[in-house]
Amino acid sequence: MTMMALALTIAAQAQVEVVDTAQFVAVYDYECRTQNDEAAPVTDKMQVVVQVGRTVTKSMPCSAYPVYDDESKPDVDAGFQEALMHMPTVWIGRPSGKTTVREFIFPHEYEGYEETPDIAWMLTNDTLTVSGYLCQQATATFRGVEWHAWYTDEIPSSAGPWRLRGLPGLIVKAENEAHTFSLAGLRMEASPITAPEQNPEVHRMRYAKLLKHKNEIYGNREYPKNPMYYVPDLQGSITDMSVLNHNGQQLVLANGGHPLLTKAHVYQPLELK
């Protein structure tokens, strides 16, 4: 049994392509200000982990980062919170000069790809101390959404959370009316940066098409009250399912452990076009 387990572990590792090694890992608190299905204001919260390598930067929901100690593993509540916030996994620089995005939109996993877009930042003289770092401000409109970012040259990296990048120092904070990313901590971990897992069932397409599909589904007025409105055969779309009793509430996980939402929050897109 031990040898069989070892063989399965080696086989699983062999299927994972390592594309770079992180020079450090940045953890960001991410907040989204929105409304629930009754139009009451709510603030959703999760963490985003960014592995910064020499050629590849990988940004992902906290639950997707494979290196944890026992105290920092995300719990069931965190998984459902992430499902409300629609944060994808993003590879910048893999392949070279391109950006790859992976995310699950029930009942399928999608992959979008495009040339890595430049962000036309305008640097200002405004400064702010964030997380102990003296930062300078920059502003930009990226994909139809205006951003105010603060970066520090104390950390010589052009990386940032999600798809934000391209400043002369690590982005420590970025915000607009609906969204805020704030640096929560740095880890000096030389962890492997892995490529998207090879899966023939993933729907691959140009990123513009994926973004349009995502915004149409989540941006529909029916979505907060009925998150599965767009699935014509919900029962037939479920390949596997488990039910957890958590804090007196039944939580449903489907299709590989993805939370199945019965209520959602009003979608606040990070990109409009």
pLDDT tens readout for residues 141-154 = 999 999 999 999 99
pLDDT of residue 249: 64
Instruction: Identify whether the C-beta of residue 148 lies closer than 8 Å to the C-beta of residue 75.
Output: no
Looking at 73-87, 121-135, 181-195, which range is the least confident one?
73-87
Give the alpha-carbon dihedral of 57, 62, 67, 72, to 10 degrees.
Answer: 140
Asked if residue 13 has pLDDT above 50, the reply is no
In the block, residue with structure tokens 């959703």? 44
- Tell me the mean pLDDT in the region 224-251: 84
Last residue of a domain, one of 194, 216, 245: 194
**What would the pLDDT profile of 48-73 be if each residue is shown by its tens digit?**
999 999 999 999 999 898 765 545 55
Asked if residue 214 has pLDDT above 80, the reply is yes
Statement to judge: residues 172 and 212 lie in one domain: no
**Helix, strand, coil percentages in the chain from 3-state DSSP, rounded to 5:** 15, 45, 40
Q: What confidence tier does 75 reach under pLDDT thresholds 50, 70, 90?
A: low
Regarding predicted confidence, which is higher, 257 or 151?
Answer: 151
**What would the pLDDT profile of 184-209 be if each residue is shown by its tens digit?**
999 998 999 999 998 899 999 999 99
Statement to judge: residues 155 and 251 lie in one domain: no
Does 2 map to a domain? Answer: no
Q: What confidence tier does 5 reach under pLDDT thresholds 50, 70, 90?
A: very low
Statement to judge: residues 188 and 210 lie in one domain: no
Statement to judge: residues 161 and 80 lie in one domain: yes
Statement to judge: residues 105 and 210 lie in one domain: no
Regarding predicted confidence, which is higher, 7 or 61?
Answer: 61
Regarding predicted confidence, which is higher, 241 or 270?
Answer: 270
Statement to judge: residues 146 and 228 lie in one domain: no
Q: Which of 144, 130, 58 is nearest to 100 (CA)?
A: 58
Last residue of a domain, one of 194, 218, 248: 194
Last residue of a domain, one of 194, 216, 240: 194
Statement to judge: residues 173 and 43 lie in one domain: yes
- What is d(CA 82, CA 264) in angstroms, rounded to the nearest whole number? 11
Does 62 map to a domain? Answer: yes
pLDDT of residue 121: 98
Does 50 map to a domain? Answer: yes
Asked if residue 11 has pLDDT above 60, the reply is no
Give the CA count within 13 Å in the CB-facing half-sphere of 234: 10
- Tell me the mean pLDDT in the region 200-228: 96
pLDDT of residue 255: 86
pLDDT of residue 9: 40
Q: Exposure string (b/e) for 190-206, b if CB count within 10 Å is 16 or more?
A: ebbbbbbeeeeeeeeee
- What is d(CA 175, CA 67) in angstroms, rounded to the nearest whole number? 27
pLDDT of residue 209: 98
Average pLDDT, the chain: 89
Statement to judge: residues 157 and 249 lie in one domain: no
- Tell me the mean pLDDT in the region 19-30: 97
- What is d(CA 205, CA 261) in angstroms, rounded to the nearest whole number? 25
Statement to judge: residues 57 and 165 lie in one domain: yes
Does 264 map to a domain? Answer: no
What amino acid occupies position 263?
A: K
The secondary structure element, H or E, covering residue 169 is: none
Statement to judge: residues 169 and 212 lie in one domain: no
Domain that holds residue 215: 206-259
- Tell me the mean pLDDT in the region 248-265: 83
Q: What confidence tier does 8 reach under pLDDT thresholds 50, 70, 90?
A: very low
- Tell me the mean pLDDT in the region 106-132: 95
Asked if residue 250 has pLDDT above 90, the reply is no
Phi then psi for 2, rounded to 5 degrees? -65, -45
DSSP 64: G
pLDDT of residue 12: 45
Domains in the chain: how many in total?
Answer: 2
pLDDT of residue 260: 87
Task: CATH number of the domain at 180, please.
Answer: 2.50.20
Statement to judge: residues 122 and 239 lie in one domain: no
Statement to judge: residues 139 and 224 lie in one domain: no
